[in-house]
Amino acid sequence: MILDRLVSFGLSTLSTAAPLGLAALGGLATGTAGSLSIALEGAMLVGAFGAAALGSASGSLALGMTAGSGAGALLGLIVGGAAIGLGADVFVAGLAANILAPGIISAISQAAFGTKGVITAPAIRAGATQMLCVVIATAAALALFLVRSVFGLRLRAVGEGPEIAKAAGVPSGPYRLVAHIIAGAAAGLAGAVLAAGIGAFAPGMSTGRGWIALVAVYLGGRKPVGVLLASLLLGLLFALSNLAQGFGTLAPSAELLQALPYIVTAIAFIGWRRAEKRRKEGF
């Protein structure tokens, strides 16, 4: 009995950490290029919706996952295009995408399905182990791509600054745009995995995971292994949070455990901002 519970808890941890890690690695792509993936939350949401919508229409899990990743990539393209092509502030562009995504989803859902966002898609329902294997394989491939590929090396040159990128013969704008597309695609696939976990889409189902993935990028020292370890830690906190739901609403400790992932995320983000400020001031 105890062994079964430990196995269940471990699977819950990995099932939560894996999509977080995938989205965070997407955020690492833009971080490496010297930009910022504020739109991870919105990309996860449109990814979950795209997976459920096309999965419901086609009856195909593979098409649903592809649609989820594609929807996230499109959002990344829009944010990157606004920031790089139009000169918009990348933070404002990403924040606008996060704010607009639920409204756009609601409008499309109303027009296509006659609902304000809820879509049942049993065709994309997949087991936790199956999705876990897909996400881990994708995350590993993305991590290796960012570290070992020529593109990853050029992306790091772009992140070092325009002078270094120019000296290396690397155009900053196109590489940063591609980094935003990669970030959106990775977060979109992570959102699709969330939808596959329950075989449906519901408004707000990402519940802040995109923001948490963004923090994992910096909590992990902007290194692939560190980012994945940070995601694993946050996944553990979410598993504890889910476990706490069985403690009853009258237990203060249960409520604290449920809020723990978000508390740790807030503290980590504040700590990172302070560290960045001190670094820029030369301390």
**Which domains are delineated in the chain?**
2-281 (1.10.3470)
**Residue 120 forms beta bridges with which residues?**
200
Q: What's the Cα-to-Cα distance from 196 to each of 15, 138, 159, 200, 281, rounded to whole Å? A: 12, 16, 35, 7, 46
Q: What is the mean pLDDT of residues 77-91?
A: 91
Note the pTM of the prediction, 2 decimals: 0.88
Q: What is the pLDDT of residue 273?
A: 65
Residue-wise pLDDT for 198-229, tens only, equals: 999 999 898 889 988 988 888 888 888 888 88
pLDDT over 90, % of the chain: 34
Confidence of residue 277 (pLDDT cuts 50, 70, 90): low
Q: 148: Cβ–Cβ under 8 A, 6 or more apart, which residues?
A: none
Confidence of residue 169 (pLDDT cuts 50, 70, 90): confident
Q: What is the pLDDT of residue 250?
A: 45
**Residue with more model confidence, 261 or 126:** 126
Q: What is the mean pLDDT of residues 114-119?
A: 83
